Amino acid sequence: MLTANRSNIGRVRHVNEDHAWVGQLSGGLTYAIVADGMGGHQAGDVASKLAVDSFCNMLERQHEKAEVSQEEAKMLVRQAIAEANEKVYGMASRNERYHSMGTTVVAALLGGGSAVIGHVGDSRAYRISKEKLSLLTEDHSLVNELLKSGQLSYEEAANHPRKNVLTRAIGTDAHVDIDVQSLSWDAEDMLLLCSDGLTNMVSEEQILAVLAQESDDLAAKADQLIQQALEAGGEDNVTVVLLQEAAGAKRKEEAV
């Protein structure tokens, strides 16, 4: 599996409250997670790191098989995100300094021709397949709710003053609803996980233009997306994780 993991503090923020990780379980499955923290006094940084660490530790404790059913994989991702919520909520409840902290999470578990995506909040997952960009997640945000109900247009949503208000987050409640889905996965498909520091600054058309380039250098593509977000203003921390099976990238190269 080819992977890239890039994060930048941006041009405005003083602390990078995003955290991300890409790893491989002992059985061979690849997993990835992006978390975008929130809360004063660097609590967002604490929340996102704790969520990522909890998610990774849970998966690594629980799974060693090389192949799992889609239902097993969905259960694993759901349990790992639920454990992250429990850890963040527990620390926020015990420590007044972290009382208001929380974080988004978008995570993936890939292997055996399938992918499982789990998320809470407005960090996103996209599939890039046959030069088409498809959004796999739905933002858990106030603006998205207003958009779905027809109270806002896409143009109004893009500039709404409460754009960053979440309707769901990790760590703000003892229990959280987690969206989990499974989908078939082709070796040539690419997965993008990102914080809203990318999607608020860079259009989907611009993202696709970068990711559809004929190259298997995922690190260079991730760097290019980060740079575009910075050039557009860099108003938030920005994090990009890319994954693609090496075999798929090689086939694409040979077809040129």
Q: Please tell me the predicted confidence (pLDDT) of residue 135.
A: 97
Range list of β-strands (E), the chain: 2-8, 18-24, 30-38, 102-103, 105-111, 114-120, 124-129, 132-135, 179-184, 190-194, 238-244
Convert 212-227 to b/e letters by CB count within 10 Å (16 or more is b): eeeebebeebbbbbbb
Q: Please tell me the predicted confidence (pLDDT) of residue 15.
A: 93
CA distances from 88 to 57, 133, 216 (A): 14, 32, 36
The amino acid at 134: S
Segments in the chain below pLDDT 50: 255-256
How many CA atoms are closer than 13 Å to the CA of 140, on its beta-carbon side?
18
Whose structure tokens read 């098989």?
65
Round to whole Å and give the CA distance between 91 and 210: 39
Calculated CA dihedral for residues 87, 88, 94, 96, nearest 10 degrees: 170
Round to whole Å and give the CA distance between 85 and 183: 24
Convert 158-190 to b/e letters by CB count within 10 Å (16 or more is b): eebeebeebebbbbbeeebebbbebeebeebbb
Shortest CA distance to 25 belongs to which of 55, 76, 64?
64
Q: Please tell me the predicted confidence (pLDDT) of residue 249.
A: 64
The three-state secondary structure class of 89 is helix
Q: Please tell me the predicted confidence (pLDDT) of residue 154.
A: 76
Domains of the chain in sequence order: 2-250 (3.60.40.10)
Q: Please tell me the predicted confidence (pLDDT) of residue 107.
A: 98
The amino acid at 135: L
Q: Please tell me the predicted confidence (pLDDT) of residue 111.
A: 87
Q: Please tell me the predicted confidence (pLDDT) of residue 256.
A: 41
Structural tokens at position 236: 């938030």
Q: Are strands 102-103 and 114-120 parallel, antiparallel or unpaired?
A: unpaired
Q: Please tell me the predicted confidence (pLDDT) of residue 255.
A: 46
Q: What is the DSSP letter of 173?
A: S
